[in-house]
């Protein structure tokens, strides 16, 4: 397992070119091309702004402008959820490679995660732009924590992606289960409501058990809330958990590896 893990570093050229290929292929044939990566989050943000300032006014104190608050959580959530949904199908879709070519299978779910990370990064400038427009620029000192949060989420997402993709080879309905679990998970995480909500505080212990709670809150503190980061201990703890999770997921993946070529 450790040898395979070390091999992963050797595949970085392969991984980066596959990520580049996914990104290129994603917009190939469209007129706007790469611009869509900016336009998509922009339109989403405009829709949220309109809905929550005009139609369904959300006046909860402390999270104004609400659309921006929500967006701080939605961007990383989209990275996680889309990565997992894509990773679940990645081994099956790449079956030809696994069956016919000597190909390191773990590259496929990792490519799904990294491709969506790039989309996440492309959405960030839009968010920052609006934060500046609304005169709530994030504190530069807070932003030091941003890379930490990204790395933690990267490890966390990769761990889950490896696990889900390996399982989906043997149980095709993992993909459907996953879609529903993700919906539940989304609403169980303080993304469209703040952690400070009274109802949330009531069940704080439960919320604390949800790893993505701490990621979402960290992003919100880094980008949205003014003032110092209070959540960094949780963030680092989740980082530690993620590393353990990653090793466990990789172990499972490695154990199932030989069955892929036959079961895909």
Partner 1 sequence: MTNAIELDHVTKIYRRYGGKQFATLKSALLQRSILRDLQPSEVFSALNDVSFAVRSGATYGVIGRNGSGKSTALKLVAGITKPTSGRVRVDGRVSALIELGAGFHPEISGRENVFINGIMLGLSKREIQNRFDEIVDFAELREFIDAPVKTYSSGMYMRLGFAVAINVDPDVLLVDEVLAVGDEGFTHKCLDKFAEFRRKGRTILLVTHSLGLVEKFCDEALWIDAGHARESGDPKRVVDAYLTAVEHTEESQLATTTAKAVEAHGEGKDPATAAQPVPPVPTPEGRWGSREIEIVDVAFLDRAGAPGFVFHSGDPVSIRMRVRARQRVDDFVFGVGLFNADGICCYGTNTGLEQMQAEQFAGDGEVTFAIDSLDLVEGTYKVDVAAHKHDGYPYDYHRLLYTFRVKSRTHDVGIYRPHHRWAFSAGIRFKP
**Which of residues 68 and 98 has its CB atom nearest to partner 1 in the complex?**
98
- Residue 13 interacting with partner 1 (CB under 8 A): yes
Tell me the CA end-to-end span of the chain in Å, nearest whole number: 22
- Helix/strand/coil (H/E/C) assignment for every residue in 80-142: HHHHHHHHHHHHHHCHHHHHHCCCCCCHHHHHHHHHHHHHHHHHHHHHHHHHHHCCCCCCCCH
CA torsion angle 149 208 53 75 (round to 10): 30
- Our finding on whether 12 is near partner 1 (CB under 8 A) is no
Nearer to partner 1, 172 or 204 (CB): 172
Residue 171, interface with partner 1 (CB under 8 A)? yes
Residue 28 binds partner 1, judged by CB under 8 A: yes
Binding residue (CB under 8 A) for partner 1 from 42, 122, 166, 174: 174
* 57 contacts partner 1 (rule: CB under 8 A): no
- As given in the structure block, the two tokens for residue 88 are 């679940």
Helices and strands (DSSP H and E) totals, the chain: 12, 0
Shortest distance in whole angstroms from residue 30 CB to partner 1:
11
Q: How far apart are CA 163 and CA 172, in angstroms?
A: 13
Using CB under 8 A, which of 100, 198, 205, 227 touches partner 1? Answer: 100
Give residues 241-260 in contact with partner 1 (rule: CB under 8 A). 258
Joined together, the tokens standing for residue 163 give 């696990």
Q: Taking the complex as a whole, how short is the minimal distance between the CB of residue 177 and partner 1, in angstroms?
A: 7
21 binds partner 1 (CB under 8 A): yes
Residue count at the site for partner 1 (CB under 8 A)? 29
118 to 137: interface string for partner 1, x by CB under 8 A: --------------------
| Helix H or strand E segment including 150 | helix 145-170
Q: How far is the CB of 227 from partner 1 (least distance, A)?
A: 45
In the numeric block, the tokens 């990275």 are attached to 79
**101 lies in the binding site for partner 1 (CB under 8 A):** yes
Residue 30 DSSP code? -
Binding flag, residue 227, partner 1 (CB under 8 A): no
Residue position matching structure tokens 């990773």: 87
């Amino acid at each position: 397992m450790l040898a395979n893990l070390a091999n992963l570093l050797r595949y970085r050229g392969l991984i980066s070119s596959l990520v580049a290929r996914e990104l290129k292929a994603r917009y190939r044939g469209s007129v706007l091309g790469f611009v869509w990566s900016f336009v998509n989050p922009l339109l989403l943000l405009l829709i949220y702004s309109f809905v929550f300032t005009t139609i369904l006014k959300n006046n909860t104190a402390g999270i104004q402008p609400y659309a921006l608050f929500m967006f701080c959580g939605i961007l990383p959530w989209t990275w996680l959820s889309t990565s997992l949904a894509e990773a679940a199908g990645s081994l099956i879709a790449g079956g030809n490679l696994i069956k016919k070519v000597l190909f390191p299978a773990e590259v496929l779910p990792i490519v799904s995660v990294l491709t969506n990370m790039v989309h996440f990064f492309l959405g960030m400038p839009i968010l920052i732009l609006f934060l500046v427009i609304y005169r709530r620029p994030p504190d530069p000192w807070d932003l030091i924590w941003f890379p930490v949060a990204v790395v933690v989420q990267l490890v966390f997402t990769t761990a889950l992606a490896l696990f889900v993709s390996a399982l989906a080879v043997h149980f095709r309905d993992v993909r459907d289960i996953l879609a529903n679990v993700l919906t539940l998970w989304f609403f169980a995480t303080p993304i469209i409501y703040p952690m400070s909500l009274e109802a949330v505080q009531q069940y704080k212990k439960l919320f604390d058990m949800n790893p993505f709670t701490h990621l979402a809150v960290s992003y919100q503190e880094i980008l949205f809330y003014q003032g110092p980061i209070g959540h960094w201990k949780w963030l680092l703890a989740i980082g530690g958990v993620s590393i353990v999770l990653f090793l466990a997921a990789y172990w499972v993946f490695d154990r199932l590896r030989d069955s892929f070529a036959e079961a895909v």
